[in-house]
Structure 1
């Protein structure tokens, strides 16, 4: 490891990490799915840089959160046995195993590298560029994404495709507390990120950005209490999620005033809670959310009436093909874990989430990033989506680099 002490920047394991930080937010605006490949490449290059300089591989030394992630992935492998999507599940587990392994190795490589301001500066520059490009794309009718993806100018719902990019910005935004700039610059970056998240059509990303920034501020004021309370609340929520949702749904007011996408989520959760109750111990199997019986059907009229969706506009919206009872995933990480992996998966996920929040508690910025990831996971995206899992693991490696700095 001593070879790293005087290592020039261009050969450092930090360089690929800083490079992706500088371009990642803009890349996510153009094509968010490319983040899976970009993260894999950046992590691999960081590991190879360590190997090239020291002559040794940075073999993982996971902490508690790392071992719990390995255990959860192992249980996913067991749950392939009763999954209706065995091939897809095996492919997903293989991809996640590669990402997790690379992230653990890159984290050790980064931890051994000399402290540097460049990662923080790359983060600040990447966030600023991503905020500007996302705002310009939205203001111009999404010209950038239409051009990159080759969509026609009248592509419906193209504006909502910015949500993944804003989710990545929300994930990284709390780390702005730790960039090596004056508080005026940090404050401007934080305010700009929150403003863009509030303006763009991405409700869950907006909440994640706000929650992450507030959590970072709370951890600055109460550095012991806030992370411990958050870890306990998350673990309790994951373990009791089906009961919490069942109670909440029974008390839900009419959904007619809500945006249709939000009302759709509520109906999805209602359907999923019933399916969890059918197989609570083992779940339906890894990646089974795509193949749950009845999931591809539209909502029956009695379900819409039960939630107060009686207007012609609501009936028409929920009559389209996209408004299925379970479109690919549950839009809630806790429910998807319960649905696919049962009680054992829920216990492992609860322990992993709590351990991750506690591991991040030494830095308000890193803790805020972890909270943002949790909020996004509870409102958006599938648990196993490679681009999102890769982004979260990459952010964890960035956290190690910033903590070193």
Structure 2
């Protein structure tokens, strides 16, 4: 209840705070893990991925110098160590939340529905006003911010809303609150468009394609989703290199906005450099060492895995997400509606990850964990 009730406040005021929020939730949930549980295949895939990432530090140009790791501020740069803690704490939160009783889950679902709708309406109204309310809050706390930066800050909340829309809509429709679900959808779309959060509304659109396909065609569409999810992790560099040599990327350069034009350059550069160390990769955090060619990260999860951790890392990442998609096939057999909701949430997460954030960003990984928790709560409602 505490975790979910803070969603609108964290989402609007400090989206990066989803990382400590989920970590705290996982830490407080640790005692509930005392009971034995069967091994989790996706958790094992992620554990092996993290171990491989740590091993890759031995050849990574982005590896931190152990001598420089003297305090908590220095540890913030140690991505591999943070990944270990995130896997343990976010995994603990997911495992513990899945043990909620149906009664507790229904109460949590009510809080989630109210929290998500409140956040969506706040972001939509502030988006239309050019983030005027957010600017007022910053000024009132003696921390003024430029209008353009305020818009960027508020727009980050749209990514959380795009993900949480799916379980929240499931809760609302199951309770007969269909008008509220449409208000939620409208608010999310208005906020994303007003704040120029292109990846949010694009991800939501692709999510609806997946949702509609599974809702209409059931397990057939869900099985096709497994292949669609696996494809970027298997063929990503090949597809991009083909696009470069065929002239498709050059054609796109002439027809896309500047921000997407920059992404095309980053992806082409990444695909070219994957070839140098195709199996082992350049090493964890190597993306940060290529200067202006790759500003911090590749803006594509699959390509970042290929570049930093090679075919090994891409395969492990692909196994995890393909396993999630495969579970959606079984879920669809139990309930076509639940399967469609899960498909929409998965595709939304992967689409945003393919267009925007670095694959290791802790708040983004925390949002993935929160989405899993929210989807599980919505099924028990």
TM-score bracket relative to the smaller structure: 0.7 to 0.9
CA–CA distance in structure 1, aligned partners of residues 60 and 116 of structure 2: 40
User: CA, structure 1 residues 158+34, in 2 after alignment: closer, same or farther (shift >3 Å)?
Assistant: same
Greater CA drift, 202-211 or 190-199: 190-199
CA–CA distance in structure 2, aligned partners of residues 59 and 84 of structure 1: 41
Matched, 1:122 2:111: yes
User: CA, structure 1 residues 155+59, in 2 after alignment: closer, same or farther (shift >3 Å)?
Assistant: farther
Contact 1:60/1:105, CA 8 A, preserved across alignment: no
* Structure 1 counterpart of 2:261: 263
User: CA, structure 1 residues 121+94, in 2 after alignment: closer, same or farther (shift >3 Å)?
Assistant: same
* Alpha-carbon offset, residue 189 of structure 1: 2.2
Greater CA drift, 169-178 or 281-290: 169-178
Contact 1:209/1:372, CA 8 A, preserved across alignment: yes
* Structure 1 counterpart of 2:225: 230
User: CA, structure 1 residues 370+326, in 2 after alignment: closer, same or farther (shift >3 Å)?
Assistant: same
Contact 2:128/2:194, CA 8 A, preserved across alignment: no
CA–CA distance in structure 2, aligned partners of residues 360 and 206 of structure 1: 23
Matched, 1:110 2:97: yes
* Structure 1 counterpart of 2:56: 79
Matched, 1:402 2:378: yes
Matched, 1:173 2:165: yes
Structure 1: tracts of 5 or more residues without a match: 1-14, 51-55, 297-323
Residues 24-43 of structure 1: CA distance to partner in whole angstroms, max 9, x if unpaired? 14422222111111121223
1:33 aligns to what SS in structure 2?
helix
Residues 304-325 of structure 1: CA distance to partner in whole angstroms, max 9, x if unpaired? xxxxxxxxxxxxxxxxxxxx32
**Which structure shows the higher helix fraction?**
2
* Alpha-carbon offset, residue 356 of structure 1: 1.4
* Structure 1 counterpart of 2:198: 203
Q: Give the CA RMSD over aligned residues.
A: 2.4
Question: What is the TM-score when the length of structure 1 is the normalising length?
Answer: 0.80
Structure 2: tracts of 5 or more residues without a match: 65-74, 332-337
* Alpha-carbon offset, residue 360 of structure 1: 3.6
CA–CA distance in structure 2, aligned partners of residues 25 and 39 of structure 1: 14
- Correspondence list, 1:127-276, <5 A: 127-146=116-135, 147-148=137-138, 152-154=144-146, 156-179=148-171, 180-182=174-176, 183-249=178-244, 250-252=247-249, 253=251, 255-276=253-274
1:233 aligns to what SS in structure 2?
helix
CA–CA distance in structure 2, aligned partners of residues 151 and 261 of structure 1: 28
- Correspondence list, 1:322-337, <5 A: 324-337=292-305
User: CA, structure 1 residues 63+373, in 2 after alignment: closer, same or farther (shift >3 Å)?
Assistant: same
User: CA, structure 1 residues 284+241, in 2 after alignment: closer, same or farther (shift >3 Å)?
Assistant: same
- Correspondence list, 1:254-403, <5 A: 255-291=253-289, 295-296=290-291, 324-361=292-329, 362=331, 363=338, 364-403=340-379
Residues 54-94 of structure 1: CA distance to partner in whole angstroms, max 9, x if unpaired? xx635664422222111211211211111122227982222
* Alpha-carbon offset, residue 276 of structure 1: 1.0
Question: What is the TM-score when the length of structure 2 is the normalising length?
Answer: 0.85
